[in-house]
Every structure is written in C-alpha cells, then in structure tokens.
Amino acid sequence: MLKKHLNDYFRLDEHNTSVRTEIVAGITTFLTMAYIIFVNPSILAQAGMDSGAVFVATCVAAAIGCLIMGLWANYPIALAPGMGLNAFFTFGVVLGMGYTWEAALGAVFLSGIIFFMLSIFRIREWIINSIPMSLRLGIAAGIGLFLALIALQNAGIVVDHSATLVTIGDLSQPAALYTLAGFFVISALSYLRVIGAVMIGILGVTFVAILLGHSEFGGIVSTPPSIAPVFLELDIAGALNISMISVVFAFLFVDLFDTAGTLIGVAQRGGLLDKDGKLPRLNKALMADSTATMSGALLGTSSTTSYIESASGIAAGGRTGLTAVIVALLFLVSLFFAPLAGSIPVYATAGALLYVAVLMCGSLAHANWEDVTDAGPVLIAALSMPLTYSIANGIALGFISYAGIKLLSGRYKELNPAVIVLAILFALKFLFID
C-alpha cells in the first residue's frame, strides 16, 4: 500500500524509476554531501556561534530544504547550508567586516526573502540573463580561491607576514600534515569515483589524529544538542544597516546563480529538462531553495542552497522528489551523531575545503581569455575575493571593472541596464560608504 502511494505521489512510473532506486539514490546523494554536517559547524563556530547548536541547525535546515524540494517541487535535488556562503558569513561578514553573527543571520534571512519574491514575480530570468557569463565564471572561481585561502590558513600552511602580507607556515606541524593528507586522500578517492570521498577523508584524518593523540574523541552517538543558542537569534534590524546592502546582495547573488546553475546542470544530467531545454516547475524549485534559506536563518545557519552533489544520486537512478525525501530523513538521523561532529578538528575539514575549492576554480577553464574585456573582470573578481577576504568585494569589483573596461573599449552596447546600475551603486558604496 505504501509503495503504491509513493508511486502515485511522486509519479515514479512516469519517471521510469522505483522506490528501491530512489532510496539508493537518496543514500548516494547523502553520502556525497554529508561532509557539510562536520564542516559547517566548524566554520560558523569561528564566528562565535555555538558549534553544537549550529550542528543541529545544519541538519534540520538541510532536512527542511530537502523535504520542500522533494514533496513540493518533486525533484531529486538535495539542499544544505552552502559551501562558500558559510565561509563568507564567518570570515567575510563577521571576522572581516566586524558585524555580529546575529546581524549576518539577518542578512541571510533578507536575501532569502528577496530570492523568494524574485521567484514569485518571475523576474529571476531577467536577472540571470543580465549578468555576463564572464562575471559568473569569475565569481565562482573567486569563491573557490577564497575557500582555498581559508583552508590553508586553518592548516597553518599560509600565515601572515609583516612585509609580504602572507608567507608559508611550518609544514612540519600536525595541522599542515593532516590537511595535506586529507586533501590527497579526498582527491584520489574522488578520481577513483569512490562514493562519499569527502566524508571518508574527513573521518579518516580525524581517526588518525585521535589515534596519535593530536585530537580528543568525544564519542559517536548521543541525544542532539540544544539549538537554543542560535535559534531565532537573527538580528534583522542590524542587517538593514545601509552598509550591509552589499552583504545582503552578495548572499542573494551567490545563492541565486549557484542554485540556478545547479538545478539546470543536475536536471540536464538526469534528463529532466523538457524538449525546449527548460526545467519544468523551475519556479517551485527556486522557491523551495529560497524558503530553505529563510528557514535556515531562523534556525541559526548560513544560506541553504541546492547541492551539485545531487548529481551523484541522479547517476544512481534518482529521478523524483522521493530521492530528496530520503536525504532529508538521513539528515534527521544525523542529529544523533553530534559527539562525532564535535570530535572533528579544523584541520580535518581543511582538506575538504581545498578539494571543494578545486572544483569551483574549474570555472576558469570556460572563460574567454582571448578577449581581455572579458578576461580582465574575471581575474579581478576571482583574485579580489581571497585578497580582500570578501565575496562581496569581489562581486563589486567585478561589476565595476566589467562596466569600466567595456565602456572605455567602445563596447558599451554589451552593457545592459542591470550591469550599469549595479556598477554605479558599487562604485558609490566604495567612495562614500566604506
């Protein structure tokens, strides 16, 4: 009876799949993205947030996002707090700009509301089409470089220097060695197409560190920690400060394009696009993503977004929202593994950050390096993120450089109103607000 209800609700026969296939696909997707359970609390804790509470918020936010995507949009796409966005939250907004983590959560919530409204009024296509491809590529690569710098810092491989700003650290220290070992293992397992390569690398480094006495073992299973320290602690009033405009926009911009790219990419791989190459029920999928972001901010975590790792579940045969529902259930089960998450040292997740950085920097391969009016903004956007320690600054400088170079090159016809307006606003911000 249950199998029939599931078949009717998710239209399994119509998508040429089965309950068993969807369950296997859900488990596969979860294993490839479960690293976020360990990485997200590690990153947000550095912003001053309670690690145990963030662990709970991460699992619950991911479960809510997956359930909405699965039950409402009926897509095999999983969601969780996004990599890059969590790093920007901690190292860019809180530690870099000096805002409280409560105000940063407020900014995440506001970005989710704007994202939701854009989806309702169906103007997201205009926005997406208005942003030049070169800027999108530069921003994706910049986030990757930003993650790489954070990973190398956490490992002590890159340290500050009074004369050169940065220099190499002591590579004989355990943190550096564990980070490099984790990165090597994750990269090799990924190349060999081992499912859960990132999680295996994180847990493997943690196990060896505990075995050698470089980290403490806190246990494996227990009742979930309290979410109270971060639940409903967002400061929306603080996020409405005029100086936070670029922060809200950065959260919105990255989430919007990351989500759109992920949805189309994963759907194309799974044969879910229609005959015109469009994704049916795209609005529902986008609203599911934006709702998950708002829910995550209320729970106490950074922006929740669609995961490209969903492609692994697609490859395993997942075609409907039942795959996402299975992922949601597994995230809820993970709530009871808080002691294990607390046992994982920062350097165990640093190798995973480096690996994700490699994937994101791959976008540089698609840039048009023969045209300097495109290549210049790509490089500026990508480099300025790690060097200014801010995704928002990278986006802003990317827009300004794109508009300025195209204008002075006599190719002003390639500039659309959205790019011109944003470039002017960002320039005014740097001149009069910062």
- In angstroms, the CA 67 to CA 311 distance is 17
3-state SS, 206-237, equals HHHHHHCCCCCCCCCCCCCCCCCCCCCCCCHH
Residue-level pLDDT at 44: 94
Mean pLDDT of 252-278: 70
- Cβ(12)–Cβ(22) under 8 Å? yes
Burial of 5 (0-12, 13-18, 19+ CB in 10 A): exposed
Distance CA 414, CA 408 (A): 12
Are 413 and 381 contacting, i.e. CB atoms less than 8 angstroms apart?
no
Beta strand residue intervals within 122-212, DSSP E: 158-161, 165-168
Report the C-alpha gap between 66 and 76 in whole angstroms.
9
Of the given ranges (79-83, 111-115, 284-288, 325-329), which has the lowest mean pLDDT? 284-288
Interhelix angle 36-45/346-361, rounded to 10 degrees, is 110
Q: Over the stretch 372-412, which tens digit does the pLDDT of each residue have?
A: 999 999 999 889 888 887 777 888 888 899 999 999 998 98
**CB neighbours of 262 closer than 8 A, spacing ≥ 6?**
77, 305, 306, 307, 308, 310
Nearest CA to 143 among 381, 376, 319, 339? 381
Placement of tokens 């936070």 in the chain: 244
Cα–Cα distance for residue pair 95/409, rounded to 1 Å: 38
> Which one, of 332, 340, 342, lies nearest residue 62 by Cα?
332
- Mean pLDDT along residues 156-172: 88
- Token pair 């708002």 is at which residue? 294
> Given a cut of 80, is residue 98 above it in pLDDT?
yes
Per-residue pLDDT for 106 more than 90? Answer: yes
Question: Mean pLDDT, the chain, as a whole number?
Answer: 85
Q: Which has more pLDDT, 309 or 66?
A: 66
Note the Cα 122 to chain centre separation in Å. Answer: 23
> Which residue, 367, 251, 322, is CA-closest to 67?
322
In this predicted structure, the answer to whether residue 362 has a pLDDT above a threshold of 70 is: yes
Taking the C-alpha atoms of residue 101 and residue 105, their distance in angstroms, rounded to an integer, is: 6
With cut-offs at 50, 70 and 90, classify the pLDDT of residue 124: low
Between 31 and 125, the more confident residue is 31
